[in-house]
Amino acid sequence: MMVRSIGALVLCLLAAAPAAAEPLPTATPEAVGLLPERLEAIGARLTADVDDGVIPGAVLMILRNRKVAYFEAFGESDTRDHTAMAPDSIFRIYSMTKPITSVVAMQLVEEGRLKLSDPVEKYIPAFANPRIGIEGKDDAGEPVLEGEAPATRGPTVHDLLRHTSGVVYGAFGRGAIRDIYAEKRITGTTLTAFDQASAIGETPLAFEPGTGWEYGRSTDVLGAVIEVVEGKPLSEVFRERILGPLRMEDTAFWVADEADRARVAHPLDSTVSGREFLLDPAKEPVQLSGGGGLFSTATDYARFVLALMNGGTLDGARILGPRTVAYMTSDHLGDIPHRAPEGVPTTGYLPGPGYGFGLGFAVRTDAGVSPLQGTVGDYFWGGYAGTYFWIDPRQDLAVVFMVQSVREAAPYRELLRNMVYGALLPREAASGD
């Protein structure tokens, strides 16, 4: 592992941040109540995993008291040509796009241009006259659609934000509704966001909206809703509303500058989850996926994280009001079961025990219960290819982890949680800076 002094760390941050952006503030670990030897243990573990071929490389940033106290790059960004991982390496962040889409939706809510109670059909007409698909199996045990029943109501914008819409993913698991997604190429990337949302609307819902939680393409539909409201592509909306104001210059739906593609991090070669199976950074996408289409860097995503920690503002740019941030990061499930209704094929409740779900984030509701360390009120999400972040407001802590390893995504989330909290002292123990 490369060990950097705080002076070298500042230079890395300056190099990784866009020229127009203010450098992220830094502090020594001791000054913000982090135990340096425990942080070294995290670095040693990641280094060992690189050496053992578990992951190709990674970038880890830890912020406390809104300052960067730890920022390290490990291993290689490309094992084919042995390019070293760098602080400004670019990653496919997949579902870490969802919080950004959710924030944009809430900006429109603040402006009175969108309401959480709005039916999706108001923006995507194909969602009119919704039906619920009835799952069954044929004699061979294969999933079949046994019939359809009219839905009591259609999904709302609120349902899209909290994944209670009845919209599922077609790429994970089997089921009659999921198979229809595959047949209609809803799971592919050749449809525009609006056309994909329309195809989803024409397909039966997996369950009555508001009666269960199931991870799916709800946020992709939300991205299409945003495009309708704004009358422009999601890429432009993101640039004008989030990426530009927060100076996230390395975040986009593709890596347009050929020179920057050398900075893209890739997974280990695999016949299942190698780079050929992931988003192509050199290809401008037809589908601007609000659910999982962005590329970003640790520094860029940290700027988004800091804006949330600051109640919606960073370096003079306000993207949300503080009460809206608090509302988004509160549990919005209430009595809604943390699972899909009985008989509906499911990928499971991804936030896990001890967590509810807000508007774009899993939100911790219990001090215990979860196998992940944390604090009531912390919130998080991650991406398919392994990227992950969480924010703990009570501890004034945030972590951004970038890696490209589908297989190791879940294990690292638990590992990092437990090791980072093991390095954490009470806020009053910080020595000052």
Give the separation between CA 92 and CA 385, rounded to whole angstroms: 7
Residue 241 pLDDT > 90, yes or no? yes
Q: How confident is the model at residue 151 (pLDDT cuts 50, 70, 90)?
A: very high
Residue 2 pLDDT > 80, yes or no? no
Residue 5 pLDDT > 80, yes or no? no
- CATH topology (fold) of 29-106+231-422: Beta-lactamase (3.40.710)
pLDDT of residue 15: 44
pLDDT of residue 172: 73
> Which of 3-12, 132-141, 364-373 has maximum average pLDDT?
364-373
Q: What is the pLDDT of residues 94-122, one digit of tens each?
A: 999 999 999 999 999 999 999 999 999 99
Span 204-230, mean pLDDT? 98
Residue 205 pLDDT > 80, yes or no? yes
Which ranges in the chain are annotated with CATH 3.40.710.10? 29-106+231-422
**291: amino acid identity, one letter:** G
3-state secondary structure 283-341: CCCCCCCCCCCCEECHHHHHHHHHHHHCCCEECCEECCCHHHHHHHCCCCCCCCCCCCC
Span 362-386, mean pLDDT? 97
Report the percentage of the chain scoring pLDDT > 90: 87
Span 21-30, mean pLDDT? 93
- φ, ψ dihedrals at 223, nearest 5°: -60, -40
Q: What is the pLDDT of residues 410-419, one digit of tens each?
A: 999 999 999 9
Give the separation between CA 11 and CA 13, rounded to whole angstroms: 5
Phi-psi region of 152 (alpha: psi -120 to 50; beta: other; left: phi over 0): alpha
Q: Are 354 and 362 in contact (CB under 8 A)?
A: no
**380: amino acid identity, one letter:** F
Q: Is 121 helix (H, G, I), strand (E, B) or coil?
A: helix
Residue 201 pLDDT > 70, yes or no? yes
CA-based max dimension of the chain = 69
Q: What is the pLDDT of residues 68-101, one digit of tens each?
A: 999 999 999 999 999 999 999 999 999 999 999 9
pLDDT of residue 22: 83
In this structure, the strands spanning 355-357 and 362-364 are antiparallel
Report the percentage of the chain scoring pLDDT > 70: 94
Q: What is the pLDDT of residues 290-322, one digit of tens each?
A: 999 999 999 999 999 999 999 999 999 999 999
pTM of the model: 0.93
Residue 16 pLDDT > 50, yes or no? no
**104: amino acid identity, one letter:** V
Distance, C-alpha 358 to centroid of its chain: 13
pLDDT of residue 196: 96
Reference 24, options 247, 326, 312, 255; nearest CA is: 247
Give the separation between CA 305 and CA 320, rounded to whole angstroms: 13
Give the separation between CA 262 and CA 255, rounded to whole angstroms: 10
Considering the chain, what is the average pLDDT of its residues?
93
Write the burial class of residue 386 (CB in 10 Å: 0-12 exposed, 13-18 middle, 19+ buried).
buried
Q: What is the pLDDT of residues 175-192, one digit of tens each?
A: 899 999 988 888 878 999
Residue 3 pLDDT > 80, yes or no? no
